[in-house]
Structure formats: structure tokens, C-alpha cells
Amino acid sequence: MSTYSKDHMVYLKKQKKEKKLVFFFRLSIMVVFLISWELLSRAGLINTFLSSSPTEVVKTVIGLFHDKTLFTHIGVTLYEVMTSFMIAGIVGFIIATILWSNKIIAKIIDPYLTVLNSLPKVALGPLIIIWVGASTNSIVFMALLISTFVTIITIHQGFSRTNPKYIRLLQTLNATKHQIFLKAVLPSNIPTIISTLKINISMSLIGVIMGELLVSKSGLGYLIMYGSQVFNINLVITGVVILGIISYIMYLIIDVVETVVKKKMGINT
């Protein structure tokens, strides 16, 4: 026998139906877009020299695969993205924790974080190359500049907005600041941290591609830049499509992690 009540069973069925509906429309939008793109290209209603077509993108992917360069470019970009993603996540979390634990430091640092976050990172590209060198390090550094400050600001805001009732309750029990953080602040901000990771993935990917456009000899950013230099729009579009697929896969991974964590914590999604 089921341990769930009838109302809860109805709710679960509604949730499953909603998920199937969302998946159907997501897939439908993509299929309609690809079919329309292909048909318009074949009918000559759009210029394939400027917009390529799904068929040409597939042919370009196959060509890159046969040249044994496809996975090389993807691997380089993934390495740079994951490196910057992990560093930004760890550094951002540590600094956000320090700012939460010391309100004076937070007030001093806050305007600097805002200014640094708003700086146009592309304009700093030449300086980054001079400081770090024209290598993978400069690409990762560019990604860190873009993702780290967003991570710090978002997580710190979440920590600061923790329900004060939880904190007061622990304070009445003579809990230390360390205990308050572990028992109240951190658990209540798990959803915020996971949401920040989703943003961080996007920011890291953007930063890496920006860095590869400035200085790289491999990677998807290099592929896009090279394609634009030789007026090979198929190569450019292919690079963009692969980036979109990678971004979506990374998003799905974080989404699965979020679902698992929320289930373990008993948080309704």
C-alpha cells in the first residue's frame, strides 16, 4: 500500500504531468527552429553564406571529427571552463563567508566588489596578457574576473538574508558564530549556492570564450575566431552550436545536483 495520501498522489501526478509538458514544449521549440532554419536555407529565403544551415553545421562537425580536431577544441575549452568554475566557486564561497562573519570588512569591501564586477573585462584583455602571459593562464584569469565577483556578491547576499529568527534562536542557546554558520546560515542557503553555481557556469564559459578570442591556439573560441578570419560562417556557427550544447549539458548536471540535494534536505522543488 502507498504511504501517500490521495491529495499528495494527485499533487505528484500533477508535477509529473507538468514536467512532461515542459519537456515537450522545450523539445518542440528546438525541433521547429531547426526545421524552419533548414527549410528557409534550402528555399533561398535566408543567405546560407551569412547564416549557414543545420545540414552544413552537421557536415562541419563531421569534418572536424575526421580531422581529429573536434574533441581537441572541446577538451581545451572544457578544461579551462571547469578550472575557472571550480576556482571561482571555492574562492567566492570562502570570501563570502569571511564577509558574512565580519560586517566591518563587508562594509569596507562592498563598493570595491561592485566596481570590480562592473568593469568591462574585455578592455582588460591586453593587460591580462601582459600580466599573466599569452597562455591558458590568461584565459582562466579572464574567466575568473568575470565569475568570481558575481559568486562572492550573490552568496554573500544570501548569507546576509538568512532568517534572523534562526540566528537569534541559536544565540539564545549560546551558539558560537561558527555553529550559527554551520547550523543556520549554510543549510538555509544551499538553494542559493546551487543557483549561484548555475550562474557561475555561464559566466565561466563566457569568460573562457572571451579569453580564447583574445589569445588561444585551440578551443572553441579559437575555432570561432579562425572561422570569422577566413570567412567560414559554417565553422563559426558550428562553434556557437557546440558551445550551446556544452552550456546546456553543464546546466543539466547542476540541475540534477540541485534536485538530489533538495530531496535530501526535504525542500519542495
Is residue 142 within 8 Å of 210, Cβ to Cβ?
Answer: yes
User: Which ranges of the chain does DSSP label H, i.e. alpha helix?
Assistant: 6-42, 48-51, 54-66, 70-101, 103-118, 125-132, 136-160, 164-172, 177-180, 186-188, 190-214, 220-229, 233-265
Q: Would you say residue 9 has pLDDT above 80?
A: no
pLDDT the model gives residue 265: 67
Sign of CA pseudo-dihedral 57, 53, 220, 217 = positive
Residue type, 185: V
**How far apart are alpha carbons 168 and 255 in whole angstroms?**
33
**How far apart are alpha carbons 210 and 173 in whole angstroms?**
50
Please name the residues in contact with 146: beta carbons below 8 A apart, sequence gap of 6 or more.
121, 203, 204, 206, 207, 210
Q: What angle do CA 133, 212, 87 make, to 5 degrees?
A: 75
Q: Residue count of the chain, please give it.
A: 269
Residue-range domain boundaries for the chain: 1-46, 51-265
Q: Would you say residue 162 has pLDDT above 90?
A: no
3-class state of residue 122 by DSSP: helix
**How far apart are alpha carbons 217 and 219 in whole angstroms?**
7
pLDDT the model gives residue 219: 87
Q: Would you say residue 242 has pLDDT above 60?
A: yes
Whole-prediction pTM value? 0.82
Other residues' Cβ atoms within 10 Å of the Cβ of residue 181: 20
pLDDT the model gives residue 268: 56
Cell numbers that stand for 194 in this block: 546551487
Q: How confident is the model at residue 4 (pLDDT cuts 50, 70, 90)?
A: low
Please name the residues in contact with 76: beta carbons below 8 A apart, sequence gap of 6 or more.
136, 216, 218, 219
Rounded to the nearest 10 degrees, how much is the dihedral formed by the CA atoms of 238, 243, 244, 249?
Answer: 130
Q: Would you say residue 6 has pLDDT above 80?
A: no
Classify domain 51-265 at the CATH superfamily level.
MetI-like (1.10.3720.10)
Sign of CA pseudo-dihedral 103, 105, 107, 113 = negative
The overall average pLDDT reported for the chain is: 86
Is residue 38 within 8 Å of 53, Cβ to Cβ?
Answer: yes
Residue type, 89: G
- What percentage of the chain carries pLDDT values higher than 70? 96
